Chain A
Amino acid sequence: MRAVDAIMECLKAEGVEVVFGYPGGANLPTYDAFVDAGIRHVLVRHEAGGGHAAEGYAKSTGKTAVCLGTSGPGATNLVTPIMDAMMDSVPVVFITGQVRTDLLGTDGFQEADILGITMPAVKHSWMISDPADIPQAIHEAFHVASTGRPGPVVVDIPTDLSKADIPYVVGQDTPLDLPGYQPKFEGNMKQIRQAARALAAAKRPLLYVGGGAIAAGARDEVRELAEATGAPVTCTLMALGTFPAPHDQWIGMPGMHGTRTANYTMDEADLVFSIGARFDDRITGKLSEFAPNAKFIHLDIDPAEIGKNVPAHIPIVGDAKQVLAKLIPEYVSLDADRARLDEWWERIHAWQAEYPLTYEKSDDSEIKAPFAIESVYEASGGNAIVTSDVGQHQMWTAQRYHFAEPRKWINSGGLGTMGFGLPAAIGAQVGNPDDLVICVTGDGSIQMNIQEMATATQEGLPVKVVIINNGYLGMVRQWQELFWDKRYSHVDMRPEQAPVPDWNKLADAYGWTGVRLEKKETLLEDLRAAFATEGPVLIDVRVAREENVYPMIAPGAAARDMVG
C-alpha cells in the first residue's frame, strides 16, 4: 500500500483520534490519505496554531498529540511549538513533509532542513530515506514522545517517498529498534527507603511538586504522601492542580510570583522533596541563596535534571507514580510522630495570616485584573479547563484560579510563548468536548495567534476567551516601571483615538459572540452569562491599566527579599 496510507494505519494503531495540521505541496500525499482514513483532522490557520493546539490536546488529555505541516515555511512555523513542547515535556509527534529526495540539498522550492533546525528542540527526530522504514519510524516516534520524560519528536518525510508503495499489512506488528533509549521507571529501593527515613526525620519538610507528577499520573500518590506526612505542599506553575488548592496543606505556588508563604517555607525548610520539578530559575531566584537550610530529595525520571541546578542529597531516578507508591508504605511503617511538625505549621500559618494574596481594590466601577480572575474562578465554578498566554494575566490566573485537579491548567511555562493560549484552548476543547474551556489571555498575547478564531468557528468549538485588556504589554510595562525607572518603551498598545482592534467587531467577523465588560459590579454575572452562551465567545474585560503582579521576587534576588 502507499506509505501515506500506512501512516494513517499506524496513527490508528497508536489510538490517534484527531490530528491538527495544515496541508501544502510536500505533504499533499498525506492529505490525500486523509480523505479515506477516517481520522478527524482539525484544519488550523497557521502551523504554530496547529502545534499549540496539539499541545493543548496532549496536556489536557494526557494522550500523545499529532501535528502535521508541510516542508519549508510550514515546518519552520512549527519551531516555536516544538521548542515549547520540549521545555514543558509535552508528547507531540510532528510529521513534516519534505521536498523530493532528488531536490534535497539543492535549495529547492520550500526546502528547509527542519531536522537540523529543530535538533536542539526535540527529544528525537527521524529523517526518512527508505519508505519501507516509515511505519517503524512512526511507531518509534510515538514511543519516544510518550514514555520516560515526554517530549516532542519530528518525523520528516520527503514527498516522493510518502507516495511510494511499501509492504505493509494492516495490523502488522512493527518492532522498534531503540537500543539507546531505555528510560528507568522503578526507582532504586535503597534510595526510596532513605527518602522515607529522611522525611520521617525532617522537622521542616516541604513537598515541592512539578510537572513530572502530572506526566506520571501521580495525582493520587502525591495526595496520599502529603496526607501521610502532614507536610506542606507547593506545586510549580506546571503542576498546579496536582494537589488541590483548596486544602489545609496547600501553601500556594513558589517562585517569582508565588506566595510569600511558599517562598518562605522553601527558604526555611530543612528537607525539600522535589517530585518531578526542575528548580527553574523562576523558582529558585538567586541560586546561591535558595533554600539555604535544606537537604534535597530529588525524584525525576530524567537523570540529567538531578543535580543540574541544586545538589541532590537523595537522588531517585524514576517515575513519580511508581516511586511514590513504594515510598508511602515505607514512610508509614516508620510511625513518624506528626506532632514534630507542629512548630513548623505554626510558623507557616503565621505567614499565611500575615501575607495573604491581595491587591488594592478600586473604589469605583473600575475592574482590577486580580478581581477579574477571581470572578472567572467563581463564574466558572472552579473546575473549567483554563489555558493562558504569557504575561501578567498568566500569573494572576496561576495565583487565583484555585485548581483542584491536574490537566486543568494549560499554559506555556518553560518557553513562555505568547500566542499559546487560544490554540491550546482549541486543542483542549477538541479533547474534552463536554468541558468548559476558558482561555485567559491579554490583549497582547491574543493577537499572536488570533487567526485561530476561525478554526474554533469552523470546528464548532465553544471556547470562551477572556481578554484581560489593559492596553499594555503589561508584564514588560511592569518591569520597565520597576527596574527601568518607568521609561516605558513600546509597551502601549492603545492608540489615543480608540483601542484596536474593536474586539466586538472582530468577534462578529469570525462568527463569535463578543462582549465588552467594564463594570466590576456586574462582572461576575456578565461572566456567568458569557460562559453560558452557546458557541465561542470573546470577552473583552477592560481592566485598570497599570496594575502590577505581586508579590514578586526581583530577577536574580533571593526569595527572602520578595516585594509587594
Chain B
Amino acid sequence: MGDPGTKEVISLADLQAAAAGARTGRKHVLSLVVQNRPGVLVRISGLFARRGFNIDSLSVGPTDDEKKSRITITIDGATHPIDQVTKQLHKLVNVLKIRDLEPEDTVAREMALFKVGVENGSGRAEVLQICNVFRGKVVDITKRSLIIEVTGTPDKIEALEEMLLPFGLIEMMRTGQIAISRGRDET
C-alpha cells in the first residue's frame, strides 16, 4: 500500500480505523520523563482531572539527571482511551518522553507498609510467618503492633493485604508503582 507512484485503486471498504476512544481493557503503566520544574506535577494531574482520566497510582522521583524527573502512572485501560491520554500528555511542553510499558517487557514494583495490631501477642507468630512467605521485613515492633515492609507487584501486595486483614490491619500505605523496562535499552 502507498508505494511511490502506485496508481492502483483502493477500496474505501478496506480502510480500517481504531474506534475513537478505544479501550484496551487492561492496566497500563505509563513512564514519563519530565522537566524538573515547578508546577509540572500540577499540569499533569490537572490534565487528568479535566479530561476525566482516573489515576490508579502515581509516583514521582528524581532521575540520574537533576534536570529531569521520572513519573510513573498506572491507569486503567478498560475505562480510559490510553491513546488519548498519552497524546494529551505529549502536548504538555514539560513532558519530554512517554512510554506505555508492555507488561511482559517490564519490571514493575511498589512498596507497601502494613501496620498490624497484635493485641497481647496473639497472632504475632502467624503474622511473622505470613510475612516471611511474602519476603516482607519487620521494621517496627511493639507489644501491640508490627510494621511490615514489603515490595512487589500490586498483585502481591494486595494478596498480603488480604492475608493480614483478619489479624487487625490498622493501616496500610502504598507508594504506587515504579517500573523499568527489561534489557539494555533505556526506559
Contact = CB atoms under 8 A, between A and B. Distances in A.
Contacts of A197: 2, 6, 8-10
Contacts of B87: 303-304
A509 B37 CA distance: 51
Given A127-B39, A201-B10, A202-B12, A311 B93 contact: no
7 contacts: A120-B46, A180-B94, A180-B95, A197-B6, A200-B9, A311-B20, A313-B15
A308 B84 CA distance: 7
A270 interface: yes
Contacts of A119: 39, 42-43, 46
A198 interface: yes
Interface string B10-45: 111001111111000000000000110011001100
B184 interface: no
B7 A333 contact: yes
Given A191-B2, A333-B7, A334-B7, 13 more contacts: A119-B42, A179-B96, A190-B2, A193-B4, A198-B15, A200-B9, A201-B9, A295-B17, A307-B20, A311-B19, A313-B17, A314-B15, A333-B5
A41 interface: no
A153 to B, nearest CB: 9
Contact of B16 (A124, A304, A313): A313
Q: Is the interface of B mostly helix, strand, loop or mixed?
A: loop
A436 interface: no
Interface string A107-145: 000000001100110011001010000000000000010
B125 interface: no
B83 interface: yes
B4 A180 contact: no
Interface extent on A, as a size class? 35 or more
Contacts of A296: 17
A309 B20 CA distance: 6
B132 interface: no
A296 B15 CA distance: 9
Nearest to B87: A304
A480 interface: no
- Counting chain A CB atoms within 10 Å of each CB, which of B6, B12, B87, B90 scores highest? B12
Contacts of A333: 5, 7
A295 B14 CA distance: 10
A180 B20 contact: no
A295 B12 contact: yes
A311 B12 contact: no
Contact of B93 (A116, A144, A313): A144
A333 B11 CA distance: 18
Which 3 pairs from chain A and chain B are nearest by CB?
A: A311-B17, A304-B87, A313-B15
A119 to B, nearest CB: 5
Contacts of A310: 20
A180 B92 contact: yes
Interface in B79-103: 83-84, 87-88, 90-96
Nearest to B9: A201
Contacts of B6: 193, 197
Contacts of A302: 91
A180 B93 CA distance: 5
A129 B39 CA distance: 13
Contact of A194 (B2, B17, B21, B93): B2
Contacts of A124: 92-93
B43 A307 contact: no
B50 interface: yes
A178 interface: yes
A249 B21 CA distance: 33
Interface residues of B, number: 38
Interface string A479-510: 00000000000000000000000000000000
Nearest to B1: A194
Given A179-B96, A307-B84, A295 B15 contact: yes
Given A190-B2, A193-B4, A304-B84, A116 B12 contact: no
A312 interface: yes
B160 to A, nearest CB: 38
Nearest to B88: A304
Interface string A297-326: 000001110011111111000000000000
Contacts of A304: 84, 87-88, 90-91
Given A120-B50, A179-B96, A304-B88, A115 B39 contact: yes
A271 interface: yes
Nearest to A190: B2
Contacts of A193: 2, 4, 6
Interface in A378-430: none
Interface in A163-199: 178-181, 190-191, 193-194, 197-198
Given A190-B2, A193-B4, A313-B17, A201 B12 contact: yes
Interface in B44-66: 46-47, 50
A198 B17 CA distance: 14
Contacts of B92: 124, 180
B105 to A, nearest CB: 24
A198 B21 CA distance: 24
Contacts of B39: 115, 119, 127
Contact of A127 (B12, B18, B38): B38
Nearest to A309: B20
Contacts of A194: 1-2, 10
Interface in B118-167: none
Nearest to A302: B91
Contacts of A312: 17-18, 20
A20 B34 CA distance: 34
A307 B83 contact: yes
Nearest to B16: A313
Contact of A308 (B10, B20, B38): B20
Contacts of A181: 93
Interface string A37-79: 0000000000000000000000000000000000000000000
A476 B2 CA distance: 50
- Counting chain A CB atoms within 10 Å of each CB, which of B47, B83, B88, B93 scores highest? B93
A201 B9 CA distance: 6
A12 to B, nearest CB: 25
Contacts of A144: 93
